Structure 1
Amino acid sequence: MRTALPAILTALMLAACTSAAPPSVGYSRNLEPIPGSITYGGQPRTKLTKAPVGSIVPHRFRDKFGRQVSETYVIEPDRSLRLISRRIDYDLVTDR
């Protein structure tokens, strides 16, 4: 058993090193807009012409359950918005 343990640990470490990389650098998940998101139902009609490409746009709102939602968008070269992160603040007293 003493000789098998290092072999098992080595195999686990190698498996972790050879796993697939995330599809994009920085943020690995593709978030879908939810009701209240800026891009819910499509891109906004107005183009963000004055903001530089790559600018970060924060957005805060309450969802249908009353939870505070904080989203972050980035401005793409075609002036569309891409949702890159979302944080939902849960109320530990009312959320179960």
Structure 2
Amino acid sequence: MKSAIIGLIGTLALGGCNTTTYTGLGLEPIPGSITYTGQPRTKLTKSPPGSSFPHDFIDQYGQQVEETYIIQPDRSLIIAHRRYKPIRFFRD
């Protein structure tokens, strides 16, 4: 977990460089993850390898989940970070 966080910070810091790679295995996908049923059919051709993007969803237990994905050189995705957030029904 610690190495995934360090890898994510390094990747975000060098996100604009095309030579950045993330060599971690990533996290296992859970229901609701983009990669839960395998890699997406469409390739992310406009985003450079090494760039990252977030994905928010509600898991099968009703918890709000935020995942950060990193695009690999072969255009596959890995989950670099997952955070469970409390669901807020009313704004404070």
Please tell me the TM-score bracket, short chain as reference.
Answer: 0.5 to 0.7
Give the equivalent residue in structure 2 for 1:26. 7
Give the equivalent residue in structure 1 for 2:53. 57
2:75 is equivalent to residue 79 of structure 1:
yes
Q: Is the 8 A contact 2:54 2:67 kept in 1?
A: yes
Q: Is the 8 A contact 2:5 2:81 kept in 1?
A: no
Q: Is the 8 A contact 2:54 2:69 kept in 1?
A: yes
2-side partners of 1:34 and 1:75: how far apart? Answer: 18
Classify the secondary structure of the residue corresponding to 1:46.
coil
| Cα-to-partner distance string for 1:5-33 (whole Å, 9 max, x where unaligned) | xxxxxxxxxxxxxxxxx599526774100
2-side partners of 1:79 and 1:40: how far apart? Answer: 16
Classify the secondary structure of the residue corresponding to 2:82.
strand
2:37 to 36, 41, 47: 41
Give the TM-score taking structure 2 as reference length: 0.66
Runs of 4+ in 1 over 2 A off after TM superposition: 22-30
- Which structure would you say has the larger RCO, counting Cα contacts within 8 Å and 6 or more residues apart? 2
Q: Share of identical aligned residues, percent?
A: 59
Give the TM-score taking structure 1 as reference length: 0.64
| Cα-to-partner distance string for 1:31-52 (whole Å, 9 max, x where unaligned) | 1000000000100000001101
| Residue ranges of structure 2 left out of the alignment (5+ in a row) | 9-23, 88-92
Give the equivalent residue in structure 2 for 1:70. 66
